[in-house]
A and B are shown apart, each in its own frame.
Chain A
């Protein structure tokens, strides 16, 4: 079945450091891929998404490129800030799940990021 695997956290960085959070997936067909962010005590917010191979999603300085050849969707940011401290979730959705399984998203286990000043 479909699955998403993220690098384990917590990840601790100093302010202005480069961030990479790895995400790989297993899916049939051509899924859409998402990154969500969860700040402490809050729900999830969409950070960015990509819907086909080689698409690059970007938002708030974060980027991720849909790589079908490596089945990856790694999240990157060139210079993190303390305010980026949160839990980041990679997720996928494919056409089969839309029609057969209520359109549910498949989430990775989440990666906690802590940025120190």
Chain B
């Protein structure tokens, strides 16, 4: 069966410090991968998606970047955190395109980032 791991679960970082959040998926190949952010009391904002190794699409211009160095690894980074980067970050995956539009996305447990 497929699983998704996201870490760390919580993180407190000072303004101006770097960030690296990691997400890995097991039990599948060629997944589509996604990073979402959820601000307190708000909906989900898609930040990045990736359809393959090294292929990153950005949805919202911001202080963050994403990378996919391996098929099942997705990393969210920042060189210098801002206070506004605080939020709940969720990684998700979907099966590859040839399986169609009917499959759901599977989410990790999230990382609570507080920038102080």
Contacts and interface: CB of A to CB of B under 8 A. Distances in A.
B61 interface: no
A49 B92 CA distance: 17
A95 B98 CA distance: 11
A115 interface: no
A51 B104 CA distance: 10
B43 interface: yes
Most buried by B among A31, A93, A103, A110: A103
A94 B107 CA distance: 19
Contacts of B50: 102
Given A43-B108, A98-B101, A104 B49 contact: yes
Range for the number of chain A residues in contact with chain B: 20 to 34
Contacts of B72: none
A55 B20 CA distance: 41
A73 interface: no
Interface in A8-34: 31-32, 34
Given A43-B90, A43-B107, A43-B110, A107 B100 contact: no
A108 B44 CA distance: 8
Contacts of A102: 32, 34, 49-51, 57
Contacts of B42: 109-110
B105 interface: yes
A97 interface: yes
A45 B108 CA distance: 9
B10 to A, nearest CB: 9
Interface of B: 6, 32, 34, 42-44, 46, 49-51, 57, 59, 90, 92, 94, 97, 100-102, 104-110, 112
Given A34-B104, A95-B100, A99-B97, 17 more contacts: A32-B101, A32-B102, A43-B110, A44-B90, A49-B102, A93-B102, A95-B101, A98-B100, A102-B57, A103-B32, A103-B101, A104-B49, A104-B59, A105-B94, A107-B44, A109-B42, A110-B42
